[in-house]
Amino acid sequence: DTEVTQTPKHLVMGMTNKKSLKCEQHMGHRAMYWYKQKAKKPPELMFVYSYEKLSINESVPSRFSPECPNSSLLNLHLHALQPEDSALYLCASSQDNVQRGNIQYFGAGTRLSVL
């Protein structure tokens, strides 16, 4: 099983709302990732968690707040977003974050619209 599950699939929120995106994997992977993908562009890395600790923050605005409650779950808390934050948010996981040739497995994404 190489499945990464993301919920919800679609989310519409106002600029004053607080919402959360969820990601779950049961492959025993110890590295988890959040990406943002705008239309017709490649994914852009936002955060990396390694062994449940935040190891990389790619200078993401503080209105995005990641959380890794345990090794299987990854959340992205959203607050006071802007319309330009509308995008497809992808979660990925991999076995380890330093292994050569390590494969990242992606979820189907949450399509976010900020009004």
Partner 1 sequence: GDSVTQMEGPVTLSEEAFLTINCTYTATGYPSLFWYVQYPGEGLQLLLKATKADDKGSNKGFEATYRKETTSFHLEKGSVQVSDSAVYFCALSPLSGGYNKLIFGAGTRLAVHP
Chain positions contacting partner 1, by CB under 8 A: 4, 6, 31, 40-43, 45, 48, 50, 55-56, 90, 92, 94, 96-109
In sequence order, the 6+-apart residues with CB closer than 8 A to the CB of 86 are 112, 113, 114
* Closest CB to partner 1 among residues 17, 105: 105
Task: Output the smallest distance, CB 86 to partner 1, in A.
Answer: 16
| DSSP code, position 95 | S
The answer to whether the CB of 51 falls within 8 A of the CB of 30 is: yes
We find the least distance from the C-beta atom of residue 99 to partner 1, in angstroms, to be 7
Q: How far is the CB of 9 from partner 1 (least distance, A)?
A: 9
| 2 vs 82 by CB, closer to partner 1 | 2
Alpha-carbon separation of residue 112 from 4, 53, 73 (angstroms): 18, 25, 20
